[in-house]
């Protein structure tokens, strides 16, 4: 079984990749950073109002490293200067919501992020503030934000303690239930995770995060039909959710629908962050089902070039060796 964490845009949850059996992609080349550029932008809410104090990060597309951070002024604007001219992902965060967009500083100089409900600004992902979320008391929300921060910093015990406190203040906090479910998934305890995740989607049916996490749990339990149903609902809420699309592809692989999985992965490509490499593993599974072993080998090889020492690397190497043996034997015959 492959196990690799997947980063949600609002909450980090664990995505569990399982390999079903015991066209290569060009690797990015480093770019010249000899010319500096600037970038200005604005962060607004669903009604076009400015969001002050939002965190904005510039992330290197190839390494995933944050190279600069700023916060918006009271009028929602931010500015970066002396940034090496290259392609980046820019991430704007306000509370537990994020929006992302890719920029090429050789051409782009201005960017606008919309966070909340309403028509999305092109190139960004928008997240609705649901009625259920609006009911959350401020005290619980502040504790939850600290829990999310602890999770992102891999302080899992701290995150669990904080999310417990948030739920103590407001037991029907859907996002906190999702995070507690994810933490239990991280421990391998799906029995404890399941009721939290199922309750979370019942409480807030407008939050695609809960549906993506519940779909991941059903995939882990090999309940692929349930996963597909849940994930399709999540994609209806947020069609740009690469997490839901990735989990849907996993469920389709579980159902031996290789062509469906490959189509889903193709849709997800536009939204998957550059530092997320496990799509190669899911594609490899789909190609194995199709008995296209050369394509599966190419996907595994690409994954291992990105993450030669990752948590999935040993399993990927074993599968790669088996496929290479099968291909070599066929060539001899």
pLDDT along the chain (333 residues), means of 10: 30 36 32 62 80 85 80 85 84 78 78 62 43 85 90 88 97 94 91 96 89 94 95 88 90 95 90 81 94 93 89 88 89 71
- Whether the CB-CB separation of 61 and 111 falls below 8 Å is answered with no
Q: In Å, how far from its chain's centre is CA 293?
A: 28
DSSP 188: T
Q: What is the pTM of this model?
A: 0.65
Q: Which is nearest to 272 in space by CA: 64, 43, 14?
A: 64
* pLDDT score, position 168: 97
Query: Is 258 exposed, middle or buried (CB count within 10 Å of its CB: 0-12, 13-18, 19+)?
Result: buried
């704007």: which residue's tokens? 92
C-alpha 318/C-alpha 315 separation (Å) is: 5
Name the region of 82 (left: φ>0; alpha: ψ -120 to 50; beta: rest).
Answer: left
DSSP strand pairing (110-114 vs 36-44): parallel
| Nearest Cα to Cα of residue 55 among 99, 85, 87 | 99
Q: What is the signed CA dihedral for 144, 147, 153, 157, rounded to 10 degrees? A: -170
Q: How many CA atoms lie within 13 A of 197 on its CB side?
A: 29
Count of helix runs (H) and strand runs (E) in the chain: 12, 9
Residue 91 β-bridge partners: 57, 100
């Amino acid at each position: 079984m492959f196990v690799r964490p997947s980063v949600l845009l609002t909450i980090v949850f664990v995505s569990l990749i399982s390999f079903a059996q015991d066209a290569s992609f060009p690797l990015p080349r480093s770019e010249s950073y000899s010319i500096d550029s600037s970038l200005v932008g604005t962060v607004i809410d669903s009604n076009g109002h400015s969001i002050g104090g939002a965190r904005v990060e510039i992330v290197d597309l190839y390494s995933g490293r944050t190279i600069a951070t700023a916060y918006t002024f009271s009028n929602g604007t931010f500015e970066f200067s002396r940034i090496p001219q290259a392609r980046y992902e820019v991430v704007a965060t306000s509370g537990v919501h994020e929006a992302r967009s890719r920029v090429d500083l050789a051409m782009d100089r201005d960017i606008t992020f919309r966070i909340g409900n309403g028509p999305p600004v092109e190139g960004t992902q928008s997240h609705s503030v649901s009625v259920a979320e609006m009911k959350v008391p401020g005290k619980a929300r502040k504790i939850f934000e600290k829990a999310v921060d602890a999770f992102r910093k891999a302080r899992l015990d701290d995150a669990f303690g904080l999310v417990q406190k948030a739920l103590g203040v407001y037991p029907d906090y859907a996002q906190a239930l999702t995070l507690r479910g994810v933490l239990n998934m991280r421990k391998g305890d799906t029995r404890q995770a399941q009721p939290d995740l199922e309750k979370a989607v019942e409480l807030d049916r407008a939050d695609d995060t809960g549906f993506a996490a519940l779909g991941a749990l059903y995939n882990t339990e090999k309940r692929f039909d349930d996963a597909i149903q849940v994930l399709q609902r999540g994609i209806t809420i947020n069609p740009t959710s690469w997490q839901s699309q990735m989990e849907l592809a996993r469920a389709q692989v579980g159902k031996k629908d290789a062509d469906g999985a490959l189509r889903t992965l193709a849709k997800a490509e536009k939204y998957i962050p550059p530092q997320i490499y496990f799509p190669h593993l899911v594609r490899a599974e789909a190609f194995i089902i199709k008995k296209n072993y050369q394509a599966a080998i190419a996907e595994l090889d690409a994954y291992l070039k990105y993450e030669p020492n990752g948590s999935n690397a040993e399993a990927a190497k074993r599968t790669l060796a088996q496929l290479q043996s099968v291909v070599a034997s066929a060539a001899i015959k």
